[in-house]
């Protein structure tokens, strides 16, 4: 399964990655979960390492942007991270990825997810900041030792973590592997199957784009800061109250102008998929977008899109249950 071989990466190569083009400017707390069991040839370790270096180079790693932790596992599990996940600088992170050893034993996926869960509970940014918590697991098979992974994955997706799990299945992972990945992600759209480690290097841009479009969990009655360049969107989700309710998004533009789209089915609402909503201005000039959400909806999703060259706003969501 996927591993990063313990090979020397010269400083000039790392500098090349550090100065590569950023393709994801979004806030994200990311945990890369790397399966380094004994079923992958050495050449594949090299390809896997290059793919992960490329992936990280596409993130704007820093205290106010992307935070990354790397978790390496087989039968044992090790974590590479500083005191806080979002304090990594990219050069250090690339060096740590390059130095990950191949553990070359069995596959304890549940143990890896358990450590990732504990780490995020202690070190991810506060839920009130609405930073997406994303866990990406790379594997070519299924767990064969340790705790079962699916119950732990369910805990990661629930309170207090409220994380999203994305899985990359590499090669012929078999029906057991596919079943496990579906149980871990709980969403077939959050699984990517590729044929080989060589293909992994070719799809890092697609993986990065997916990660940076996952919705962040939002608490009601909590002020959220929004910032994005022109034609760039941020995605959010909330739990419904299991009652018919109105979800009101109160918006205050500080720079530029943002538009809002809502949905109870699409995780990335656009002008084409948005639910109907009303829009009005409050007495103090704030924009208020209101959407009716029925009791049978599982989640409420909304996106905020910047329309000016640079856009900065504050918003708060209020939930007003109604009975019919």
pLDDT digits (tens, 9 = 90+) for 227-278: 888 888 999 999 998 899 999 999 999 999 899 999 999 999 998 889 889 9
| Least confident range of 10-19, 87-96, 249-258 | 10-19
Highest mean pLDDT pick, 33-47, 51-65, 258-272: 258-272
Query: pLDDT tier at 3 (50, 70, 90 boundaries)?
Result: very low
Name the pairing type of β-strands 66-73 and 28-35: parallel
Q: At CA 287, angle to CA 285 and CA 291, rounded to 5?
A: 150
- Which pLDDT value is given to residue 5? 31
> In CATH, what is the architecture of 216-322?
Sandwich (2.60)
What is the mean predicted confidence (pLDDT) over 20-36?
Answer: 78
Taking a C-beta distance cutoff of 8 angstroms, is the pair 57, 18 a contact? yes
* 76 torsion bin: left (phi>0), alpha (psi -120 to 50), beta (else): beta
- Under CATH, domain 28-211 is a member of which superfamily? von Willebrand factor, type A domain (3.40.50.410)
Answer yes or no: is pLDDT of 224 > 80: yes
Mean pLDDT computed over 119-141: 91
Which of the four pLDDT bands, split at 50, 70 and 90, describes residue 36? confident
Q: Answer whether residue 302 shows pLDDT above 60.
A: yes
The Cα angle at residue 264 between residues 260 and 270, in degrees rounded to 5? 35
Q: Give CA–CA dist 131/152, Å, rounded.
A: 21
Average pLDDT estimate for 119-144 = 92
Domains in the chain: boundaries: 28-211, 216-322
The label of the residue with tokens 């969403």 reads 187
Q: How far apart, in Å, are the Cα atoms of 37 and each of 4, 224, 227, 302?
A: 11, 41, 41, 39
Q: What band does 87 get if pLDDT is binned at 50, 70 and 90?
A: low
- CA proximity to 173, closest of 321, 40, 46: 40
Quick one: tokens of 307?
Answer: 């329309």
**In the predicted model, is pLDDT for residue 10 greater than 70?**
no
d(CA 200, CA 148): 26
What are the CA-CA distances from residue 130 to residues 29, 103, 191, 207, 243 (Å)? Answer: 10, 35, 23, 21, 24
Average pLDDT over the chain, rounded to whole?
86
Longest dimension (CA), the chain: 66
- Per-residue pLDDT, averaged over 179-187, amounts to 97
* HEC string for the chain: CCCCCCCCCCHHHHHHHHCCCCCECCCEEEEEEEECCCCCCHHHHHHHHHHHHHHHHCECECCCCEEEEEEEECCCEEEECCCCHHHCCHHHHHHHHHCCCCCCCCCCHHHHHHHHHHHHHHHCCCHHHCCCEEEEEEECCCCCCCCCHHHHHHHHHCCCCCCEEEEEEECCCHHHHHHHHHHHHCCHHHEEEECCHHHHHHCHHHHHHHHCCCCEECCCCCCEEEEEECCCEEEEEEECCCCCEEEEEEEEEEECCEEEEEECCCCCCCCCCCCCCEEEECCCCCEEEEEEECCCCCEEEEEEEECCCEEEEEEEEEEEECCC
Is pLDDT larger for residue 40 or for residue 220? 220
């Amino acid at each position: 399964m996927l591993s990063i071989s313990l090979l020397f990466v010269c400083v000039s190569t790392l500098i090349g990655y550090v100065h590569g083009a950023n393709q994801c400017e979004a806030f994200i707390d990311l945990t890369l979960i790397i399966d380094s069991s004994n079923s992958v040839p050495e050449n594949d370790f090299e390809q896997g390492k290059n793919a992960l270096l490329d992936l990280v180079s596409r993130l704007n790693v820093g205290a106010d942007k992307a935070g990354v932790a790397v978790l390496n596992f087989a039968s044992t599990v090790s974590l590479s991270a500083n005191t806080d996940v979002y304090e990594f600088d990219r050069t250090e992170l690339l060096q740590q990825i390059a130095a990950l050893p191949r553990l070359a034993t069995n596959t304890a996926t549940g143990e890896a997810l358990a450590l990732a869960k504990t780490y995020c509970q202690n070190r991810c940014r506060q839920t009130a900041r609405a930073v997406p918590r994303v866990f990406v697991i790379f594997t070519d098979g299924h767990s064969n030792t340790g705790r079962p992974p699916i119950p732990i994955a369910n805990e990661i997706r629930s309170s207090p973590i409220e994380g999203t799990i994305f899985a990359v299945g590499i090669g012929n992972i078999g029906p057991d592997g596919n079943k496990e990945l579906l149980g871990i992600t709980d969403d077939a759209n959050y699984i990517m199957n590729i044929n080989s480690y060589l293909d992994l290097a070719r799809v890092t841009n697609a993986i990065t784009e997916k990660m940076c479009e996952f919705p962040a969990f939002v608490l009601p009655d909590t002020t959220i800061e929004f910032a994005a360049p022109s034609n760039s969107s941020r995605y959010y989700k909330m739990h419904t109250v299991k009652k018919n309710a109105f979800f009101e998004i109160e918006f205050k533009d500080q720079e530029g102008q943002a538009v809002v789209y809502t949905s109870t089915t699409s995780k990335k609402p656009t002008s084409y998929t948005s639910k109907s909503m009303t829009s009005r201005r409050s007495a103090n000039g704030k924009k208020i977008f209101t959407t009716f959400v029925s009791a049978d909806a599982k989640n409420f999703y909304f996106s905020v899109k910047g329309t000016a060259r640079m856009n900065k706003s504050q918003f708060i969501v209020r939930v007003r249950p109604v009975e019919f």
